Amino acid sequence: MKGITKQVLSKDCWWPPGYRPKHHKIVMADLNKITDSIVDAVDQANRRIISLKPTLVKDTPHYQYALGNKKPYEEYLAKCKHITWARAAISEEHLELQFMFDKFDKILNSDDAYLDSPYEDRYIIVNGRGQIIDGLHRSVSLLVSGIEKAPVALV
């Protein structure tokens, strides 16, 4: 992702599966100041999250991966496997780490602009506390491309 769309911004916002659409407004956000809830501790035996840690985007393992330091992201994904991804509940238990790397690399290496058609409503979704609900990978991609401010759906 190398830029932000030049098209007129959509007023609509796509919500990922499992989320109920909420009232939102489109605002410009400083991506350096938003956080994501990064999994801090897990109970692998019971496949559940024990704790989350609010983390600035530039301090995430995802951002390290985008900079070329792949180990923190690999360790993070290994910790979360079968809990936040590759889950039987969503028929994805068979997925491997390489799938996640390839999926993220596709975003990082895309020449498409953020919010270009057909993804004009795929906003980074942020709550009123500045925490990402959806869009960490897109936020990372924009930041590593030198884009610090972007339109987001604020709920």
Quick one: pLDDT at residue 5? 96
pLDDT, tens digit (0-9, with 9 covering 90-100), for 3-30 = 999 999 999 999 988 889 999 999 999 9
Instruction: Say how many CA atoms lie within 13 Å of 93 toward its Cβ.
Output: 4
Angle, CA 17 vertex, CA 14 and CA 20 arms, to 5° = 70
Which residues, at least 6 apart from 8, have a Cβ–Cβ distance to it below 8 Å? none
In whole angstroms, give the CA distance from residue 155 to residue 26.
9
Helix ranges, the chain (H): 61-66, 71-80, 97-108, 136-144
Task: Out of 26-40, 70-84, 107-121, pick the least confident.
Answer: 70-84
**pTM of the predicted protein model:** 0.91
